[in-house]
Amino acid sequence: MSIVHKRWFKPVVLGAVSVGIVVATFVFLLPSIADYSHVWDVVRQLTWREIGLLLLATAINLVTFAPPWMVALPGLSFMQALTVTQASTALSIVVPAGVAAGVASSYGVLRGWHFPTRDITRAVTLTSLWNQFLNLGFPILAVFLLALSGESTAALASVAFVGVAVLGVAIAGFVLILVNRRLAVDLGDVAARVTNWALSKIRRGPVSWSGESFGRFRQDVGTFLERRWWALTGAALLGNLTVFLVLLVSLRTVGVSSSQVTLIEAFASWALIRIIGAFPITPGGIGVIELGLTGALIGFGGHRASVVAAVLVYRFLTTVPTLTLGLAAAFTWRRQGRLEPGPAEVPGSAAR
């Protein structure tokens, strides 16, 4: 097999697998759970009041994308933060392994607005880390709440156990890096060597940063978190929980009552699927999330047709508006450039 063929073989195979999963989910698996005609009958029964509640929950979810970035990157306006998050999230939905593409998009837009590289790197790192911390923490909380209510699930308990281990290691490592400059510099040197090796394979590089750069970054992050960790945590928590709000409203408006699936059970299902959906199996977890969430909610006692309807409504409201706004953001972000330099760019100002 030639080098060119090898270069294209893996993406083509992964793309075919993704398409296969999506087709299997929507053409075979979901219809085997509930006939689409019955699902459509459930959706058609939505009243204007219920549609209004769904739209309100969606709007709340969309506007809470912005605050974590506004906290992590001082000087970023609400509209700029919303533009960055919608554009990057839309890209992460449509591109396989799109999280990396979303991060690159955020970085490119913010550099285009002339924010300092150091501040952008800190904001990207912290918002990503806090989201991952929460993703790992939600299943742990869900298992605790289920235990209090006298319920438990083996799958969720297993995920929570892994979450505890990974979260503990991640937080411990993060704290060690913040308090130990030598460790930060050593890890930075290792990261630079690995990155240079990877770039050399595609005839790029080397990178301009080193372990010392990592050490300076660690000091900047530590100083920032001393002042704003609580605001970042609160904003990230709010932004994540409003996604669950959309699911909860979707369930209740299509008739999945608390007697079928309680608030805690809905949260547990959502927390479990957040972990599964984090793996880049398909773009935006399409197919995987729908099937997994449907199975979890039906397992807790939800009516099949109503659950499928709720999941599809939830996925539509958390995907299509973001794709639409993300597309608009891609064409308008240059018009929102900063008119004035930030503190780190003002001539003669001291570096923070």
Q: Which domain holds residue 218?
A: 20-336
- Write down the mean pLDDT value for the chain: 82
Are 246 and 314 in contact, with CB atoms under 8 Å apart?
yes
> How confident is residue 57, by pLDDT bands cut at 50, 70 and 90?
very high
Predicted pLDDT at 345: 43
* DSSP for residue 339: S
Predicted pLDDT at 196: 65
- Average pLDDT estimate for 174-188: 66
- Average pLDDT estimate for 7-14: 65
If one compares 278 and 242, the residue with the highest pLDDT of the two is 242
Torsion angle (degrees, nearest 10) of CA 321, 327, 331, 332: 20
In a domain, 352, yes or no: no
Which segment of 103-107, 164-168, 264-268 scores lowest on mean pLDDT?
A: 164-168
If one compares 3 and 141, the residue with the highest pLDDT of the two is 141
Predicted pLDDT at 132: 85
> How confident is residue 118, by pLDDT bands cut at 50, 70 and 90?
confident
Predicted pLDDT at 346: 39
If one compares 341 and 151, the residue with the highest pLDDT of the two is 151
In a domain, 350, yes or no: no
In a domain, 222, yes or no: yes
d(C-alpha 102, C-alpha 84), whole Å: 9
Structure tokens at 52: 């209004």
Predicted pLDDT at 71: 97
- Average pLDDT estimate for 308-319: 97
Q: What HEC string does 183-241 produce?
A: HHHHHHHHHHHHHHHHHHHCCCCCCCCCHHHHHHHHHHHHHHHHHHHHHHHHHHHHHHH
Task: Choose the most confident range, by mean pLDDT, from 11-15, 146-150, 165-169, 315-319.
Answer: 315-319
Name the domain count of the chain: 1
- Average pLDDT estimate for 300-308: 96
The answer on pLDDT for 294 being more than 50 is: yes
- Average pLDDT estimate for 109-136: 89
Q: What percent of the chain has pLDDT over 70?
A: 74
In a domain, 45, yes or no: yes
Which segment of 92-96, 159-163, 313-317 scores lowest on mean pLDDT?
A: 159-163
> How confident is residue 140, by pLDDT bands cut at 50, 70 and 90?
confident
Among 164, 191, 178, smallest CA distance to 226 is for 178
- Average pLDDT estimate for 109-138: 89
Whether residue 347 has a cis bond before it, omega within 30° of 0:
no
The answer on pLDDT for 295 being more than 90 is: yes
In a domain, 12, yes or no: no
The answer on pLDDT for 175 being more than 70 is: no
The answer on pLDDT for 350 being more than 60 is: no
The answer on pLDDT for 135 being more than 70 is: yes
173: Cβ–Cβ under 8 A, 6 or more apart, which residues?
none
H or E segment at 289?
helix 288-299
In a domain, 102, yes or no: yes
**Hey, how many other C-beta atoms are within 10 angstroms of the C-beta on 47?**
9
In a domain, 14, yes or no: no
- Average pLDDT estimate for 48-59: 98
> How confident is residue 76, by pLDDT bands cut at 50, 70 and 90?
very high
Are 284 and 92 in contact, with CB atoms under 8 Å apart?
yes
Predicted pLDDT at 146: 86
- Average pLDDT estimate for 10-21: 76
In a domain, 6, yes or no: no
